[in-house]
Amino acid sequence: MSTSMAATPDALGHDLDWLTLQIGSLYEHNDDGRIVRFNDPSAEDDGAPFLFFGKTRLGNLWRLRAGLDEDLTRDLARLAGAERAVPDLEAVPERLHAMRVRIEERHPVTHAFSGLAYRFDDVGGRAGSQARPLTPAEVSEAALAFPHLAGSLALRGPVFGILENGAPVSLAFCATTPGRGCEVGVETLAAYRGRGFAADAVDAWAAAMTRHGVVPLYSARLDNGASRAVARALELTPFASDWHFR
């Protein structure tokens, strides 16, 4: 098991449950609880992280990539298990650097992520929102406006958006395959940022997912001020922070 707690289960189970949901939404796991791949609707896979380390204010959870050698697996588990729980979600884990160094002794790390995970306490309440579900034709047009999504946007429905002069300028869509939970992806054309469009689109997407019995989740990189501003605009509640290396 990959859990560290610093209080009674009753005191911290809520946020740990949310973190467990997030991990299950982000990754596919094998029977041993090791990460096999990112849970991407398009079946594109950037590679399973060597380590996912997430923490709530009162407890931590972590997962390791399937197929790591036993020595590395044991050492990463030991380091992660020794990490104390702290109330500051943005505090860098004390042993994070040591974990990365240990990974890089065996594998090159080409990508590092640190971010906050949020839950929606209320959805569908944005007054004056123009966000709506996009038609298949509009999704195709949006894929042209956002080229990096061209090969996968049609697979990431429901897609909600804001249109200006009939053209999609802001989108919210499924970043992971919907299951019990689903992470939202959001994109806004540069010329239309700062106008609340992203928050409107995300809110409409989250309301639709909730109606279909799927728990919406939102993540923002710690250094992404725009993404964190969307979370503030929607009054989302941060329940965890996470770091991963791949």
Q: Is residue 147 part of a domain?
A: yes
Query: What is the tally of structural domains in the chain?
Result: 2
Q: Output the domain CATH number for residue 172.
A: 3.40.630.30
Do 152 and 110 reside in the same domain of the chain? no
Whether residue 101 is found in the same domain as residue 170: no
pTM over 0.75: yes
**pLDDT score recorded for residue 162:** 97
Domain that holds residue 49: 3-118
Could you tell me if 27 and 95 lie in one domain? yes
Q: What angle do CA 215, 217, 219 make, to 5 degrees?
A: 175
Residue with tokens 């429905």: 157
69, 93: one domain: yes
Residue 127 maps to a domain: no
Whether residue 31 lies inside any domain: the answer is: yes
Domain contains 151: yes
Asked which of 87, 118, 149 is the last residue of a domain, the reply is 118
pLDDT at position 47, please? 77
Query: Which of 70, 96, 118 delimits the end of a domain?
Result: 118
pLDDT at 45: 65
pLDDT under 70: residue ranges of the chain: 1-13, 44-46
Same domain, yes or no: 15 and 108: yes
Radius of gyration of the chain (CA): 19
244 belongs to a structural domain: no
Q: Based on the domain organization, do 114 and 140 belong to the same domain?
A: no
pLDDT of the residue at 3: 46
Is residue 242, in this structure, part of any structural domain at all?
no
Is residue 97 in a domain? yes
Does the residue 149 lie in any domain? Answer: yes
Averaged confidence pLDDT in the chain: 92
Q: Which among 224, 147, 234, 169 has a CA at the least distance from the CA of 199?
A: 234
Note the pLDDT of residue 241.
98
Task: Please identify, among 92, 118, 144, the residue that sits at the C-terminal boundary of a domain.
Answer: 118
Residue 159: predicted pLDDT: 98
Q: What pLDDT, on a 0 to 100 scale, did the predictor assign at position 127?
A: 84
Same domain, 16 and 98: yes
